């Protein structure tokens, strides 16, 4: 299951190290006493789309979007409820819309375009 979140325009440039701030925010939406606390949460989130990189950080001319994916429907349902209670982001802006994305159709041969880097490590 995947959701697409669209945020309002940030008040200031977003630091290049935004991923940890966004991770903290996502966990706050899951709530303090959630079943995923301290465990592998089983979700991923993509990069912020629509940025222009400057020395001061990421700058957006319009709102930005990012996706959150999880095979656990209950995790995304809990996240959306937390988001409805507090939709603020740590960049001086807020989430303005949430869209449920359709399940992708996989053909026998499918090309994948990733939203986030993948780290592959060869065992020694």
**pLDDT per position as a tens digit, 36-71:** 777 776 888 888 988 889 999 999 988 899 999 998
Structural domains in the chain, CATH included, are 2-101 (3.30.70.1890)
Residue 88: pLDDT above 90? yes
Look at 25 and 41; give whichever has higher pLDDT: 25
| pTM summary value | 0.81
Query: How would you write the chain as a 3-class SS string?
Result: CEEEEEECCCCCCECCCHHHHHHHHHHHHHCCCCCCCCCCCCCEECCCEEEEEECCEEEEEEEEEEEEECCCHHHHHHHHHHHHHCCEECCCEEEEEEEEECCCCCCCCCCCCCCCCCCCCCCC
């Amino acid at each position: 299951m995947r959701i697409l979140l669209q945020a309002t325009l940030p008040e200031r440039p977003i630091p290049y190290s935004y991923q940890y701030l966004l991770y903290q925010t996502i966990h706050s939406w899951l709530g303090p006493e959630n079943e995923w606390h301290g465990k592998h949460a089983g979700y991923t989130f993509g990069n912020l789309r629509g940025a222009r990189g400057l020395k001061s950080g990421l700058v957006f001319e319009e709102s930005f979007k990012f996706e959150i994916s999880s095979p656990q429907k209950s995790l995304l349902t809990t996240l959306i409820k937390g988001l409805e209670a507090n939709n603020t982001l740590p960049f001086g802006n807020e989430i303005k819309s949430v869209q449920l994305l359709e399940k992708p159709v996989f053909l026998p041969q499918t090309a994948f375009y990733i939203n986030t880097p993948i780290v592959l490590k060869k065992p020694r």
